[in-house]
Amino acid sequence: MRSWSRIFPVWIVAVALAFFIAGCGGQSGAPEKVEPYKIGAVIEVSGPAASLGVPQKNTLEMLAADLNARGGINGHPVQLIILDNKTNETEAVLAAKRLIDQDKVLVILGGSTSGTSLAMVDTVQKSRVPMISLAASAKIVEPVADRHWVFKTAQSDILVANKIAAYLKSKGITDVAFMSMNNAFGDSGRGSFMTAAAAHGLKVVVDERFEVDDKDMTMQLTKVKGSSAQALVVWAIPPSASIVTKNFRDLKMAIPLIHTHGVGNQTFLDLAGGAADGIIAPMGKLLVAEQLPDTDPQKALLLEYLQAYQAKYGERPSTFGGHGWDAFQLAVKAIETAGADRAAIRDALENITGFVGISGVFNMSAQDHNGLGEDSMVLVEVTDGKWSLLNP
């Protein structure tokens, strides 16, 4: 019997073998590469609001790594692209445009603050890309008719304002002083508190603002001290919120000092030091997770997040990190339903209900792109430098 090499030249045999192998590749070759799902984030990793953005960055990276280790979304790995807006509204817009036009992300998470979030709204609306803000101002998602593509995870300022006003009324307080940062967060909070105060029969006898980079607020506080105010409400984030608190104690003011969820991190406590003791604020439940009753629907999740974050980063996460957790998980849930379709992702986000998150139980709708109620917050007090659940 003659060998095949004597009948056919070697090169013909090689070519035929190559075609045979190629033809079998669809059945036994390597699996086809799956395209990643791209999620973008524009957050305050540096600048004055870095105390908000850094725990959000940490949380997003932790969640993305864990998700990919479990196989991604419907078999697609997640590519997380985080850009630092440097606590600058212009930088936020430029970052959003890059994520949309160059990176082709399916959804944008951020910004960390109301100002950067509001700055990006026009861009995502025109580009028809869903955005999930991590900030508080109700203006980020209202009116919904003009915010079709925008959602958010932080409790809206009107929820915070109503919580504060109800507490003050329960204590028999009628005259209140108000101080706020002169920026989008402070302005939105001011409007919400004025509405809440009127609804609860409170009279705002002093209304003062201060700049984000002010190093001393004694002048404004002196006006409060000389008024009939029975309590002071401050709408700010660190470091401003910490400076106000220290100035307040330096003036030996005896009235209650009420802050907002804007101080819900360790940075506020570290900068304010002992001056923070005694302040009261409405907060998401993360700060006092261990103190919640076992019947609370969020407690198990809160403890799980705390343990995971502490194990990875060696410190306790803030409520701001929790806003990042919620945004990422809501985005993942929507993409699981909709796939790589921005419009379908937007629709899926709007229909998420009963979703237990770090900031609360989310019930989104066509009328509500935040989806949280007042039950998402509790009142806390700082005692010996630590957050304590307050029973009013």
CATH number for the domain spanning 62: value is 3.40.50.2300
Is 135 a member of any domain? yes
Q: How many Å apart are CA 362 and CA 233, to the nearest integer?
A: 27
Q: 370-390: per-residue pLDDT in tens? A: 999 999 999 999 999 999 999
Which comes out higher in pLDDT, residue 158 or 29? Answer: 158
Indicate if 234 and 343 belong to the same structural domain.
Answer: no
Mind listing the pLDDT tens digit for each residue in 301-320?
999 999 999 999 999 999 99
pLDDT at 118: 97
State whether 151 and 162 are in the same domain: no
190 and 270 in a common domain? yes
Taking the alpha carbons of 386, 137, 164, 327 in that order, is the dihedral positive or negative? negative
Q: Is residue 18 part of a domain?
A: no
Residues 63 and 147 placed together within one structural domain of the fold: yes
Query: What's the average model confidence in pLDDT over 162-175?
Result: 97
Q: 188 with 268, same domain?
A: yes
Within this chain, do residues 278 and 347 fall inside the same structural domain, yes or no? no
Q: Contact 216/222 with Cβ under 8 angstroms?
A: no
SS3 assignment, position 305: helix
Note whether 279 and 367 are same-domain residues. Answer: no
Count of structural domains within the chain: 2
Distances (CA, A) of 247 to 66, 151, 211, 370: 43, 36, 15, 35
| 304 contacts: CB under 8 Å, gap ≥ 6 | none
Question: Does residue 122 sit in the same domain as residue 88?
Answer: yes
Instruction: List the domain range (segments joined by +) for residue 382.
Output: 158-291+378-389
**Is residue 367 in a domain?**
yes
Q: What is the CA radius of gyration of the chain?
A: 26
Assess whether 345 and 247 both reside in one domain: no
Identify the residue with better confidence: 27 or 87: 87
DSSP 8-state symbol, 365: B
Whether 20 is in a domain gets the answer no
Structure confidence at residue 31 (pLDDT): 57
Tell me: pLDDT of 29 over 90.
no
Asked whether the predicted pLDDT for residue 154 surpasses 90, the reply is yes
Q: What is the pLDDT of residues 36-80, one digit of tens each?
A: 999 999 999 999 999 999 999 999 999 999 999 999 999 999 999
- Using an 8 Å Cβ cutoff, are 165 and 189 in contact? no
Residues 285 and 306 in one domain: no
Same structural domain, 270 and 348? no
Does 264 share its domain with 385? yes
Q: Which of 94-98, 184-188, 247-251, 295-299 has the lowest mean pLDDT?
A: 184-188
* DSSP per-residue string spanning 152-209: E-SPPHHHHHHHHHHHHHHTT--EEEEEEESSHHHHHHHHHHHHHHHHTT-EEEEEEE
